[in-house]
């Protein structure tokens, strides 16, 4: 039987400029939004965007111009994270490109698929210190998943297509394409198909994507699970990146295993599910961390045992056997030795294990009862007696209004951790934060990208007065494009997380955190940027009414709440310490023993 011939691209054989080829491939890859700032070296491609939209009104590619190229990078990342598609940033050479270094590194650290297309000086001028020249390939090579410098125009089309393939495949990440201006202006024949030859990468990718769990490994995993009395799932951002949240939930429910998530893994399972113990780690819930201490079988899925989770690796889950599922072989055993592992797609692996256990009767009633006891005894709490508004109560109130259905982005600092602790997330891809890099200024531009990607969803940027300053210019981007982003500013008049560390570990020496130097009137700034809703709340009696109006407002909305500067984030596991050393603060109940006296004798280690 003859194989049907694949229809060629409708524009195959047409003469195009390099810039036109770039935009054609973007459209073919499903790009419907570009975030970027123009400049001399990238003007041909910006012109190609304009002409594409004129000629293709039914396949328009939105072009959003930020205040700064760093904002463009975070917008693309936010768009990518809520849609699951590859975000695209388009910037000029020199400072335009170097301003995207932080978003590129941020996306690499959190495994976010993104394309950054940079203009470059003409090939003949490369290396001459020409105007707005920067060694993008050298700078980005240590930050990105891959970097292309397009020297051969005949390879431009295939390069852009390959960049998308690399960005979204395997462990996702950012890819940078540096395109000299003369390559953009070059004219050639559009082929309409084909990738650059990447034999080594493709071979590794094929092995990963085709990696199925053999029967012997499935049986050995089930043997470990049967032997365990206190199993616990440790889910990371890889679950969300691989779209395996459904499989994780089914696996957890099938075997009735509680789940803790990393900061990046929030939303991998509905946080209101009885099996979800919320976040573990440095600022995880006390009951999640105590469950890690008590478990005897830890099943890590799409997580990497980073220092904010396993600050003291030898003491992390010290009594447990460990299984690890990850798409990246380099993560297996990197921090913590494991007893069982599988390198491959998380969803496929979880489906296989769930199906293999269909005929098994594996129950953990006493463990579930113990975990429920942990949840009740060590529940989250904060100061409810203060006359000053507490940041936790603001977030808890907004959570009551949104009922776990909003997309939430954050800056970095105390407000970030409070948001992780006090918001519910019923679906994956609704929690966006800078995890590994911890980049202040991430929240607002990420919210812009998220709103573009999900125009019908409520998108809330939870920010701090220090973090929002980093990309404050993007407030105007919200109003320029009439994006109904809700910006919640929890203003504690300082860099709260730094102050917390200085208080706990540096003898209250507040070096560099003197906030008498901060004079910003954020509400006035919001009004100047065109926000029709711009309010400040200082009294608790006004909070509920204003919060409800803030969420219901149909356009861009800005709400500043003046909060307690002495409200610290608890629990807290200090740097390099174990969960036994966790500080639960004055309002959360801790435990003085190692917890095992609470376990039934029949289940003792």
Q: Would you say 424 and 403 are in contact if contact means Cβ atoms under 8 Å apart?
A: yes
Q: Given pLDDT bands bounded at 50, 70 and 90, which one contains residue 166?
A: very high
pLDDT at 598: 57
Q: Given pLDDT bands bounded at 50, 70 and 90, which one contains residue 200?
A: confident
Name the CA radius of gyration of the chain, rounded.
25
| Homologous superfamily (CATH) for 391-562 | Thiamin diphosphate (ThDP)-binding fold, Pyr/PP domains (3.40.50.970)
Number of H helices, E strands in the chain: 22, 20
- Cα separation, 174 vs 183, in Å, equals 22
Q: What residues contact 376, with CB distance under 8 A and at least 6 apart? A: none
- For residue 323, give both structure tokens: 């299984």
* Model confidence at 566: pLDDT above 60: yes
CATH topology of domain 213-377: Rossmann fold (3.40.50)
| Mode of pairing for the β-strands spanning 459-464 and 407-410 | parallel
Q: Where are the alpha helices (DSSP H) in 110-210?
A: 136-141, 156-168, 181-185, 199-209
Q: Would you say 350 and 250 are in contact if contact means Cβ atoms under 8 Å apart?
A: yes
- Cα separation, 431 vs 22, in Å, equals 31
- For residue 235, give both structure tokens: 């889910």
Q: Would you say 426 and 575 are in contact if contact means Cβ atoms under 8 Å apart?
A: no
- Cα separation, 490 vs 486, in Å, equals 13
- Cα separation, 356 vs 246, in Å, equals 17
- For residue 83, give both structure tokens: 């849609």
Q: Where are the alpha helices (DSSP H) in 357-489?
A: 365-377, 391-402, 414-422, 443-453, 474-480
Place of tokens 């210190």: 129
pLDDT at 7: 61
Residues with a catalytic annotation lie at 69, 131-132, 181, 497
CATH topology of domain 15-208: Rossmann fold (3.40.50)
Q: Which helix (H) or strand (E) holds 546?
A: helix 540-552
* Model confidence at 243: pLDDT above 50: yes
- For residue 358, give both structure tokens: 């269909």
Q: In 3-state terms, what secondary structure has residue 464?
A: strand
pLDDT at 513: 85
Q: Given pLDDT bands bounded at 50, 70 and 90, which one contains residue 604?
A: very low
State how far Cα 293 lies from the chain centre: 26
Name the more confident of 257 and 209. 257
- Cα separation, 519 vs 522, in Å, equals 9
The mean-pLDDT minimum among 95-109, 225-239, 256-270, 506-520 falls in 506-520
Q: Would you say 313 and 250 are in contact if contact means Cβ atoms under 8 Å apart?
A: no
* Model confidence at 156: pLDDT above 50: yes
- For residue 18, give both structure tokens: 């390099």
- Cα separation, 205 vs 134, in Å, equals 32
The arithmetic mean of pLDDT across residues 353-372, rounded, is 91
* Model confidence at 605: pLDDT above 80: no
Mean pLDDT across the chain:
94
CATH 3.40.50.1220 segments of the chain: 213-377
Q: In 3-state terms, what secondary structure has residue 388?
A: coil
- For residue 3, give both structure tokens: 């194989």
| DSSP letter assigned to residue 155 | G
pLDDT at 485: 98
- For residue 545, give both structure tokens: 């009414």
pLDDT at 1: 36
Q: What is the number of alpha carbons within 13 Å of residue 209 lying toward its C-beta?
A: 10
CATH 3.40.50.970 segments of the chain: 15-208, 391-562
For CA atoms 253, 257, 263, 265, give the dihedral sign.
Answer: negative
pLDDT tens per residue across span 567-581: 999 999 999 899 999
Q: What residues contact 319, with CB distance under 8 A and at least 6 apart? A: 293, 294, 295, 296, 605
* Model confidence at 387: pLDDT above 70: yes
**Per DSSP, what are the bridge partners of residue 548?**
none
The mean-pLDDT minimum among 17-26, 157-166, 414-423, 490-499 falls in 490-499
The arithmetic mean of pLDDT across residues 338-354, rounded, is 96
pLDDT tens per residue across span 272-281: 999 999 999 9
- Cα separation, 66 vs 84, in Å, equals 22
Q: In 3-state terms, what secondary structure has residue 375?
A: helix
- Cα separation, 297 vs 283, in Å, equals 22
List phi, psi (to 5°) of 215: -55, -40
Nearest to 180 by CA among 14, 45, 66, 50: 45
Q: In 3-state terms, what secondary structure has residue 61?
A: coil
Q: What is the number of alpha carbons within 13 Å of residue 181 lying toward its C-beta?
A: 23
- Cα separation, 485 vs 305, in Å, equals 33
Beta strands in 327-380 (DSSP E): 340-343
Q: In 3-state terms, what secondary structure has residue 4?
A: coil
- Cα separation, 241 vs 262, in Å, equals 13
- Cα separation, 209 vs 169, in Å, equals 9
- Cα separation, 190 vs 202, in Å, equals 24
Name the more confident of 522 and 4. 522
pLDDT at 518: 74
């Amino acid at each position: 039987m003859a194989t049907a011939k694949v229809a060629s691209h409708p524009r195959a054989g047409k003469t195009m400029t390099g810039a036109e080829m770039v935009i054609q491939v973007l459209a073919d890859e499903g790009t419907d939004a570009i975030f970027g700032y123009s400049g001399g070296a990238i003007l041909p491609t910006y012109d190609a965007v304009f002409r594409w939209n004129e000629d293709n009104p039914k396949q328009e590619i939105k072009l959003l111009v930020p205040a700064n190229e760093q904002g463009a990078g975070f917008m693309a990342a936010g768009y990518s994270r809520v849609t699951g598609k590859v975000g695209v940033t388009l910037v000029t050479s020199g400072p335009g490109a170097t301003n995207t270094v932080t978003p590129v590194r941020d996306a690499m650290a959190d495994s976010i698929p993104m394309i950054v297309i940079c203009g470059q000086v003409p090939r003949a001028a490369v290396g001459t210190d020409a105007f707005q020249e920067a060694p993008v390939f050298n700078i980005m090579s240590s930050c990105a998943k891959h970097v292309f410098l397009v020297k051969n125009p005949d390879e431009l089309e295939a390069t852009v297509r390959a960049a998308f393939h690399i960005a979204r495949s395997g462990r996702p990440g950012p890819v940078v394409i540096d395109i000299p201006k003369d390559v953009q202006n070059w004219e050639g024949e559009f082929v309409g198909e084909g990738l650059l030859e990447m034999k080594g990468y493709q071979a590794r990718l094929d092995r990963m994507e085709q990696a199925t769990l053999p029967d012997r490994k499935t049986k050995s995993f089930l043997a470990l699970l049967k032997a365990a009395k206190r199993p616990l799932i440790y889910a990371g951002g890889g679950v969300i990146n691989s779209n395996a949240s459904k499989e994780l939930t089914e696996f957890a429910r099938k075997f009735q295993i509680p789940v803790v998530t990393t900061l990046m893994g929030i939303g991998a399972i509905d946080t209101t599910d009885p099996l979800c113990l919320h976040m573990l780690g440095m600022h995880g819930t006390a009951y999640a961390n105590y469950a890690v201490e008590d478990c005897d079988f830890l099943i890590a899925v799409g997580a990497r045992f980073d220092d904010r989770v396993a600050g003291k690796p030898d003491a992390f889950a010290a009594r447990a056997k460990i299984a690890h599922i990850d798409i990246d072989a380099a993560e297996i055993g990197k921090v913590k030795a494991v007893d069982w592992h599988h390198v491959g797609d998380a969803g496929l692996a979880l489906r296989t294990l769930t199906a293999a256990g269909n005929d098994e009767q594996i129950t953990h009633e006493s463990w579930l009862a113990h975990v429920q006891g942990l949840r009740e005894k060590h529940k989250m709490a904060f100061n409810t007696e203060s006359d000053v508004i507490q940041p936790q109560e603001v977030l808890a109130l907004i959570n009551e209004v949104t009922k776990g259905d909003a997309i939430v982005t954050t800056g970095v600092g105390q407000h970030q951790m409070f948001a992780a602790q006090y918001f519910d997330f019923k679906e994956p891809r609704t929690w966006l934060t800078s995890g590994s890099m911890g980049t202040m200024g991430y929240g607002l531009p990420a919210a812009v990208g998220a709103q573009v990607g999900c125009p019908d969803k409520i998108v809330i940027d939870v920010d701090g007065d220090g973090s929002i300053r980093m990309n404050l210019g993007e407030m105007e981007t919200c109003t320029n494009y009439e994006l109904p982003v809700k910006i919640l500013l929890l203003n504690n008049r300082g860099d709260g997380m730094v102050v917390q560390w200085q208080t706990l570990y540096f003898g209250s020496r507040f070096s560099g955190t003197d906030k008498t130097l901060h004079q910003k009137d954020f509400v006035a700034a919001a009004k100047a940027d065109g926000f029709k809703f711009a309010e400040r709340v200082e009294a608790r009696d006004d909070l509920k009414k204003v919060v409800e109006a803030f969420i219901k407002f149909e356009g861009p909305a800005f709400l500043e709440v003046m909060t307690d500067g002495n409200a610290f984030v608890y629990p807290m596991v200090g740097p390099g310490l174990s969960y036994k050393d966790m500080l639960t603060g004055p309002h959360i109940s801790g435990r003085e023993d190692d917890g095992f006296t609470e376990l039934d004798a029949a289940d003792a280690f």
